[in-house]
């Protein structure tokens, strides 16, 4: 192994998870499948499989597929509020998955069940009080996502949220939102983080299965082309600005409802959901928010809107969830190239910081 390849930055997070580098490829619906996850894991990052958009059977086969492609540790991301969360937790335990990652804070019981089975529990949070809550309930580490991060996101920027959470909890904290390179990794470590988690950067690799036309939209985007909208499902959601977003934001309530019903009927065919199921799912996503009926329908369809772009390449119809950092990303390295580049840059930056030597 060359000197550069042997360079590591061991942290409490690498120790906890057994991963080689303090880097996480996050769980992204329809994006973080077996191919990306195993490539990230083989590169020495913690790959996390996105399970919210998989059936329970698909989750089991996807876990086995990752296992067949790598001996390195990996994780599974799930929604703590999913009706079948317990079944998914069972699969994680039965299949010996190293890390359970949660999109929303898991219950105390779920954390205990996983920990008893030796699974490392790492919820993703967007606010200090959520980090404090899951830490008190026994989570092993947290991923804290600042507002510049892709997908559902909060208002507080990573540069403010990360040190705030580091100061508030006694468990390893992994920073997310806006990271793409070695400078970012060193900056996060300086804030007291034990690593960085990247979504958009891993989406934009040659190992990601996202269609080329969609990747091209991300590569062409400037920082200002990435927006936060509540028009899709009522929750702040960071994504590329597109005709869909413009149409939804421009539509009045009545027109939005007509559009939502039209889209929903198309997606209902795709997803196989019945109308009552779809409305039930949409209502479950209201989170106590005052959603219009069109938003309820769209909320139920958000996974299908993401699928339309991430799987079918429909840049006209789908949601392209994205971090602001897409505006700075210009290439599609393999996961191995990306991880090697990030670590080499971190090493070089550490060596040139003022005041050293």
Ligand X SMILES: Cc1cc2nc3c(=O)[nH]c(=O)nc-3n(C[C@H](O)[C@H](O)[C@H](O)COP(=O)(O)O)c2cc1C
The residue range among 33-41, 60-68, 171-179, 264-272 that interacts with ligand X, by the rule CB under 6 A, is 171-179
Q: Write each residue from 185 to 224 as x if it is in contact with ligand X (CB under 6 A), else as -, in one continuous string.
A: -------------xxxx-x---------------------
The answer to the question of residue 29 lying near ligand X (CB under 6 A) is yes
The answer to the question of residue 231 lying near ligand X (CB under 6 A) is no
Report the distance separating Cα 311 and Cα 214, nearest Å.
9
* Residue number of the CB atom closest to ligand X: 199
Report helix angle 293-310 to 275-284, nearest 10. Answer: 100
Report helix angle 253-271 to 293-310, nearest 10. Answer: 50
Nearest to 46 by CA among 26, 64, 63, 65: 26
Q: Is the torsion defined by CA of 219, 222, 228, 231 positive or negative? A: negative
The answer to the question of residue 325 lying near ligand X (CB under 6 A) is yes
The answer to the question of residue 126 lying near ligand X (CB under 6 A) is no
The residue range among 25-33, 83-91, 212-220, 284-292 that interacts with ligand X, by the rule CB under 6 A, is 25-33
- Who's near 20: CB < 8 A, 6+ residues apart? 8, 14, 44, 45, 72
Look up residue 238 and give its two tokens.
């960071």
Report the distance separating Cα 145 and Cα 149, nearest Å.
6
Burial (0-12, 13-18, 19+ Cβ within 10 Å), 190: exposed
Write out the binding residues for ligand X, residues 66-85 only, by CB under 6 A. Answer: 77
Q: Single out the residue of 7, 12, 35, 52 in contact with ligand X (rule: CB under 6 A).
A: 52
The residue range among 28-36, 39-47, 90-98, 282-290 that interacts with ligand X, by the rule CB under 6 A, is 28-36
Identify which of residues 40 and 257 has a Cβ nearer to ligand X in the complex: 40
DSSP 51: -
The residue range among 54-62, 68-76, 252-260, 320-328 that interacts with ligand X, by the rule CB under 6 A, is 320-328
Q: How far is the CB of 126 from ligand X (least distance, A)?
A: 9
Where along the sequence are the contacts to ligand X (CB under 6 A)? 26-29, 31, 50, 52, 77, 103, 124, 145, 148-151, 176-179, 198-201, 203, 321-323, 325
């Amino acid at each position: 192994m060359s000197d550069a390849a042997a360079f590591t930055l061991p942290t409490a997070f690498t120790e906890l998870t057994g991963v080689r580098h303090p880097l996480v490829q996050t769980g992204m619906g329809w994006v973080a499948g077996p191919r990306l996850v195993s490539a990230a894991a083989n590169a020495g990052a913690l790959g996390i499989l996105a399970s919210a958009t998989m059936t329970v059977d698909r989750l089991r086969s996807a876990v086995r597929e990752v296992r067949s492609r790598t001996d390195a540790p990996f994780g599974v991301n799930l929604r703590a509020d999913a009706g079948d969360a317990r079944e998914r937790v069972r699969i994680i335990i039965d299949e010996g998955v190293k890390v359970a990652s949660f999109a929303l804070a898991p219950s105390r019981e779920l954390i205990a069940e996983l920990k008893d089975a030796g699974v490392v529990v790492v919820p993703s949070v967007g606010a200090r009080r959520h980090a404090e809550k899951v830490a008190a309930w026994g989570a092993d580490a947290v991923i804290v996502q600042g507002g510049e991060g892709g997908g559902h996101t909060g208002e507080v920027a990573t540069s403010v949220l990360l040190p705030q959470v580091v100061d508030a909890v006694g468990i390893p904290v992994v920073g997310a939102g806006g990271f793409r390179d070695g400078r970012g990794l060193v900056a996060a470590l300086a804030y007291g983080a034990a690593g960085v988690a990247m979504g958009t950067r891993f989406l934009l690799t040659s190992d990601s299965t996202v269609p080329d036309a969609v990747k091209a939209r991300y590569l062409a985007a400037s920082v200002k082309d990435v927006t936060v909208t509540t028009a899709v499902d009522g929750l702040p959601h960071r994504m590329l600005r597109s005709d869909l977003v413009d149409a939804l934001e421009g539509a009045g309530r009545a027109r939005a409802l007509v559009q939502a019903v039209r889209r929903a009927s198309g997606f209902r065919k795709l997803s196989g959901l019945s109308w009552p199921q779809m409305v039930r799912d949409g209502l479950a996503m209201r989170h106590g928010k005052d959603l219009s009926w069109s938003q309820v329908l769209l909320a139920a369809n958000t996974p299908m809107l993401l699928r339309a772009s991430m799987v079918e390449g429909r840049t006209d119809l789908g949601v392209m969830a994205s971090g602001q950092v897409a505006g700075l990303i210009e290439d599609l390295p393999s996961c191995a190239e990306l991880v090697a580049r990030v670590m080499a840059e971190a090493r070089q930056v550490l060596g040139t910081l003022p005041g050293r030597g």
